[in-house]
Structure 1
Amino acid sequence: MDKKRIALNIAAPLCGLAAFIVIWFIASAAIGVSIILPSPSETIVKFFALFAEKGFYLAVGRTLGRAVLSFLIAFVAACLFAFLSKLSLFFKKAFAPIAVIMRVMPTISVILLVLIWFKSNVSPYVITFLVIFPMLYRVVTDAADGVDPALLEMTKAFRLSCGKRFFNFYLPEMLPPVLTGASITLSFSVKLTVAAEVLAFTADSIGRYMKQTSAYIETSKLLAWTVVAILLGFLLEGLLLLVKKLLVRRYHGKQS
């Protein structure tokens, strides 16, 4: 059963990816103009050519750093505000409209306002934080509210300290949903960071190179940079899901 599930988990995504590439190839051949839609092979050639370009590794490293740092700051802030919301019902009710406004505010509005208020090298951090913070806050608060009330009553009956309650009961129950939501948000932070870099024309960034290739209508190179950004998102999401699996196995004694 496990072998069948593993085979399915590998084969199904590969089939989906193959179908996407075939459709892309057919569409490119039908259009017949590489400047509009280059073929997958052209894009792959440009993708590998990027590794030899001056500034490639610096741009990738700095974009990755911006995305990860913005995520970490937002995650810590979300955990702090969720903790305060759990401690105080008044704080939770007072902060609720602010969280909703941040969550439903159009992303493009956030980007344009931040570009007015901050310099280009700071804008990607602020934009990514403002967009993903309310998402992470919702994830953490929902996870905290989802802890079994009967379990909490038991901890009170045994008069366990706050530390023991958190590490022995809250944390094991909250880890799976929090890390699942965080992994999706982390990959989304790469997407946001690159978008912010494009509009801010941030130095030493994937977004800046995308903007330049777009200006020169180098479509195949633009798609190659897009592949780089996608791979970064996949990498970060995969790493966090791996961390989730290891932590859940540690606390629950079984595989997630």
Structure 2
Amino acid sequence: MISHDGHVHTPFCPHGSKDSFKDYCEKAISLGLQSISFTEHAPLPEGFIDPTPQLDSAMSQKDLQPYLEELNDIKQSYQGKLDIFIGLEVDYIEGYELETTSFLKKVGPFLDDSILSVHFLKIYDRYVCIDYSPDVFEETVLSLGSIEAVYTRYYETLQASVQADLGPYKPHRIGHITLVKKFQKKFPTQHTFRQETTILLSAIKEKNYSIDYNGAGVIKPLCGEPYPNKQIIQEAIEMGIPLIYGSDAHQSSALMTGASKLHKGVSLSKP
């Protein structure tokens, strides 16, 4: 039984709903959850230009302090009813390691939880948001020459995120490690990338990190499975890597997304 949702967005998300923190908390309680991690998209590194058309991949820097203050208030008001973890989903962006480290040093002491995710890939001299849309994914395929090349670049970047020295407050949970498969039904590949994911899991295990067992892919019409899938989860279990369920909800009604489709019998952890 799932008692903790470890990947939840908030009204501070510029591409999510404006459901209040209270909406999320009341929904979590109604679902029988004991705890929840609010993990809003952290402000992007200084100097990095969001490649999405609406520039809405993450909260702005000016919203960070209000976000932390509101969460501290809600954490206190739900004490004894719901355990609330104050967190962020931090982007690993190749070439912006120093800026990310500096940011984490400032905000890290105020966090209970955090996730390190890859949404942006460096393709030659530019960046793309790999999960933004099928059109962007297709443009990336054309730039790199094949679907397989996009997957390879994604797993290379994930591996770099695990190995990167981002200071003492680096997140120890790696987010949705098969996000590149979001549009797999439109852009299928016969390559399993088993070697790449095994190498990635080995690095995660060596670092004593955990994995975001993310249900959002289940409801994505071109994906249809969790991030990661059953095969990778089984390998992670065999390696003894902790798995933390996350709905990746961007509205309160999406809490527990994909939970019924997760690998049965999995022992899930909390942060």
Q: Under a length normalisation based on structure 2, what TM-score does the superposition of the two structures give?
A: 0.26
Structure with higher helix content: 1
Q: Under a length normalisation based on structure 1, what TM-score does the superposition of the two structures give?
A: 0.27
Higher relative contact order (CA 8 A, sep 6+): 1
